[in-house]
Chains A and B, each alone.
Chain A
């Protein structure tokens, strides 16, 4: 690993026509951390995840995962990606969605069954195993999607708004599971715009207009800005950026 960082980006820039989605984004994520990307809509959170997953080519700048310059096919088996969209086959059952992704990663039937059991318990969908995904509610689909991204036990997990539409009780259990994964050495990068949720992250990057305007533990960021919580910290930092 690169200086103990799973992910490192240097001056990552992405332009879509005139729109600048990423404007020199510098990011470093430590191994085994839960790293939150926090920021308003259109800040560049999703774009940075897509660049890291190799779905979008940056206009300039560099990104490294496991010390390899992105995009690199050899890192794909070790990363998991949960997109913001549902991205599931609605006409297939929960089981068949999971099984297809398992097969794509070359898992054996036995291994898939094992993983499926664990994952369905975690997302509390054991009863729905054989239901077509199209029949499930929005939040349930979201949980299936999360399970699909973890079927192959990735070492690095990209979650684009994993808790949207998930009820508070289940959200709490998600966090328990994320911490469990973390203890097993898994690194998680997630986007969110829930400030309270970001509080659970080991480290957060505040993203605004395509740049990281502050990075650190939630506590260090509030301390640095002399604010009571992340929401106020973010507003203070935004104001500072505007005035600068």
Chain B
């Protein structure tokens, strides 16, 4: 091995980088940005999830005191407010509605006479009275549900022991509002499917379309009567077909082979994945119109995939991001698909409940395609 020859290869790589300032910048910007996002954004712990409370407990005056005490108030006071955000509603029906709509992850019901029954049972365990706090959860997000359970359980134990009723108060979480028997993989697999479809389709399209330019074909096509919009839509049709077939195959495998929970319609789940595929190719096409060379396209790939991985909610729940970071996830396309997929597969939601996500994805798709045409026109004749 000749050191001189070896180093001449090394030198040429550095020279190339120095000549391509954008590549050089990206090489540092991407990893630094992603490590910052990761460090800042990830406590890893679930936080700030909404839970509704229905407090029907009227409290109890322990004679001779004239001040009523309440087990319910004590439990609420002991809830870890980093993890849960409490919203009080008046009726159980209202609470159930809130969770069913996806506006909260669980409801805590403190029944009538909770405190009074607790004291009676504590004094005489034989009395036929209930002092049970009910916790009903949306378990479609397994990690979130477990965190809420832990927090409520801790608060119940703490509050009841401080009031001396620890033997009487029980917590019942046997009834789930959604996805009662969901396993962790029922939560992760739909997210991974979405992410796979996104990455595969996006990379395939960005590379295919950029080679249209680098091969000189784009220039030749532009001297024919072909319109830019025809080029973009023609591409989109071809890659949609491929991507939709891919998505269908993946969905079939996760449902038939891995037996992931499907509470809702498989067809609707397919629609979500298919739409995700079409969105991904549109984004790929848009970014490839911004790239002059293959190397630039690759830079876009890392620039898009890193934040999607961290903030898309595909692999771990968005609820593990700090509250102020969460809104950023709306800029991450797979987020919509992952949300919609889980809603369909674990909660059994229909199109009426996920239409917002579907419309968001369709809008991003149309926007990307329109911008691609606009970009191609803009760069014609420069």
B212 and chain A: residue at smallest CB distance: A89
Question: Is there contact, CB below 8 Å, between B225 and A73?
Answer: yes
Q: How far is the CA of A90 from the CA of B225 in the complex (A)?
A: 22
Give the shortest distance, in Å, between B215 (CB) and chain A (any CB).
6
Q: Let me know if B223 is at the binding interface, CB within 8 A.
A: yes
Question: Is there contact, CB below 8 Å, between A56 and B381?
Answer: yes
B161-205 contact mask (Cβ, 8 Å, vs A): 1 or 0: 000000000000000000000000000000000000000000000
**Interface class of chain B by DSSP:** loop
Q: Let me know if A85 is at the binding interface, CB within 8 A.
A: yes
Question: Is there contact, CB below 8 Å, between B225 and A53?
Answer: no
Give the shortest distance, in Å, between B328 (CB) and chain A (any CB).
37
Q: Please indicate the chain B residues that have their CB under 8 angstroms from the CB of A88 in the complex.
A: 215, 217
Sort chain B's interface into a size bin.
10 to 19
Question: Is there contact, CB below 8 Å, between A83 and B220?
Answer: yes
Q: Please indicate the chain B residues that have their CB under 8 angstroms from the CB of A83 in the complex.
A: 216, 219-220
Q: Please indicate the chain A residues that have their CB under 8 angstroms from the CB of B225 in the complex.
A: 73, 76-77, 104-106
Q: Let me know if B382 is at the binding interface, CB within 8 A.
A: yes
Give the shortest distance, in Å, between A39 (CB) and chain B (any CB).
21
Sort chain A's interface into a size bin.
20 to 34
**Which among B220, B226, B381 has the greatest number of chain A C-beta atoms within 10 A?**
B220
Question: Is there contact, CB below 8 Å, between B216 and A85?
Answer: yes
Q: Let me know if A57 is at the binding interface, CB within 8 A.
A: yes
Question: Is there contact, CB below 8 Å, between A55 and B219?
Answer: yes
Q: How far is the CA of A158 from the CA of B226 in the complex (A)?
A: 18
Give the shortest distance, in Å, between B217 (CB) and chain A (any CB).
5
- 4 closest A-B pairs (Cβ-Cβ)? A85-B216, A87-B216, A57-B381, A81-B223
Residues of A within 8 A of B (CB): 50, 53-57, 71, 73, 76-77, 79-81, 83-90, 101, 104-106, 148-149, 158
Question: Could you list 14 further interchain pairs (A-B, Cβ under 8 angstroms) beyond the known A53-B223, A104-B225?
Answer: A54-B223, A55-B219, A55-B380, A56-B382, A57-B381, A57-B382, A73-B225, A81-B220, A83-B219, A87-B217, A87-B219, A88-B215, A88-B217, A104-B224
